[in-house]
Amino acid sequence: MKFGAHVSIAGGIANAPKNAAVLGCEIFQIFTRSPQGGKAPELTPALIKEFKSELKKYKFSDFVIHAPYYINFASANNRIRYGSISVVREELERGSAIGAKYLMTHLGSAKDLGQKEAIKKTIEGLIKVLDDYHGAAVFLIENSAGAGEILGDTFDEIGETICGVIEKIPKAKIGVCLDTCHAFASGYDWRSKLAVAETLKKFDQAIGLKYLKLMHANDSLTDFNSHLDRHAHIGAGKIGLAGFEAIIRNSRLKNINLILETDSDGLPDPRTKDLKILKKFRDK
């Protein structure tokens, strides 16, 4: 089990490994392009070489990529829906080129089409993304907090989506990135050893633990089952320190890495403290 954080690529992607090392990361997450939109910066052979050199310099063997925020596989607007398919496939290829282990994304919203049709269109979109894909980076669905009609807030819905893809592409490179804050906001409890065990049991029944590849370690500013996505620093939210200790010490998660998506406001960067807390729970 390794711990890390989402770090900036300001000034160029090659700066990310150093930014992660300064925080005390053992793994890290990045965007390779603006999360809000626009053309992706070119990953030239020289830039890829420099980035990989920095990975080696700072002793990182693993890093992951988050797709842009605007992805929506269930939009009624074909430009948005097909644009999402194109961008996610492109990010998988870009991730493979620079050595990323995973690329994760949210699925989008059912508000245009209704739940049943939205899931159908999402499955169709993911099949287009993964059809004839041979890269090394694995595609991950990130669960949502369930605000409004956002897709992917329940384990059952994610399980249905993965099953739909696997039915058409049996060897699809697909899995799940499980966000602790989003799950908590969607009614999956983490606050005790028993709660963690029950949540993982539900995940296994609906999706299968073999599909759990990564976790986002975020405490929740809002109450259990609130359906609000409000990240908090570790121990500063409603999940609490006991909850994160239970997560880290659960034997079923021993090979799952955790990435912080908490904010960086303040000096020293508060994520440094978050990482120290997580490492303490692991190493005690």
What is the domain-level CATH number for residue 274?
Answer: 3.20.20.150
Question: 30: domain range?
Answer: 3-283
Q: Tokens 């890290």 identify what position?
A: 28
Q: What are the angstrom distances between the C-alpha of 150 and each of 69, 72, 73, 198, 261?
A: 13, 10, 11, 24, 19
Report pLDDT digits (tens) over 151-181: 999 999 999 999 999 999 999 999 999 999 9
Question: What pLDDT does residue 121 have?
Answer: 98
Across 18-22, 36-40, 55-59, 134-138, least confident range: 36-40
Is the pLDDT assigned to residue 148 strictly greater than 90? Answer: no
Bigger pLDDT: 27 or 147?
27
d(CA 86, CA 7): 24
d(CA 60, CA 263): 22
- CB burial of residue 207 (10 Å; 0-12, 13-18, 19+): buried
Percentage, residues of the chain above pLDDT 90:
96
Question: What pLDDT does residue 128 have?
Answer: 98
Percentage, residues of the chain above pLDDT 70:
100
Report pLDDT digits (tens) over 182-235: 999 999 999 999 999 999 999 999 999 999 999 999 999 999 999 999 999 999
Structural domain count, the chain: 1
Mean pLDDT over each residue of the chain, to the nearest integer: 97
The percent of the chain in helix, strand and coil, each rounded to the nearest 5, is 45, 15, 40
Q: What are the angstrom distances between the C-alpha of 95 and each of 105, 174, 267?
A: 13, 14, 31
Region 98-111 average pLDDT: 97
Question: What pLDDT does residue 269 have?
Answer: 95
Question: What pLDDT does residue 266 have?
Answer: 84
Confidence of residue 284 (pLDDT cuts 50, 70, 90): confident
Question: What pLDDT does residue 246 have?
Answer: 98
What is the amino acid identity at position 115?
A: Q
